[in-house]
Amino acid sequence: MHRLCTSIAALALLTVAACSAPSAQVPADDAAVVAALIVKPKIATSEPSAVLKPMRATLGQTAGVRYVRPMAGDAHIVYLTAPAQRSEVPQLLERLRGSGAFQYVEVDSMMKIQ
């Protein structure tokens, strides 16, 4: 009985450790993620293709874009991917803002408690 309890306790400990470890998030395709953006189209949509189409038209071959998920308030999370470089992100943001297709475009970043 003691051995059974020890085995169950060890298994429970391993399960908790495995569940609390950060999961590896592998992108769906091979393109390296350069930045995560929050974009809010001027015309509300729930269709990923309607979010990506104006981005692709604006950025052309300078950056890849990949839809991640919708957010509250008609905004969406989108990845900028290669061939864009991290150093180009500010210029790419300005191009998207200047396109007229979005109410706002910003880098998705972790909020810090003040």
Nearest to 36 by CA among 82, 81, 90, 103: 81
* pLDDT tens, position by position, 1-15: 656 556 565 555 555
Q: Is residue 77 part of a domain?
A: yes
Kindly give, in sequence order, each residue whose CB lies less than 8 Å from that of residue 33, ignoring residues fewer than 6 positions away.
Answer: 27, 66, 79, 80, 81
Average of per-residue pLDDT values in the chain:
83
Looking at per-residue pLDDT, the higher value among 65 and 3 belongs to 65
- pLDDT higher than 70, residue 77: yes
Quote the number of domains for the chain: 1
Most confident of 17-21, 32-36, 110-114: 32-36
User: For position 27, what pLDDT does the model report?
Assistant: 43
Q: Is residue 60 part of a domain?
A: yes
What range defines the domain where residue 89 resides? 33-107
Q: Is residue 84 part of a domain?
A: yes
Q: Is residue 39 part of a domain?
A: yes
CATH of residue 95:
3.30.70
CB-based contact 80:89 (threshold 8 Å): yes
What end-to-end distance do the CA atoms of the chain give, in Å?
52
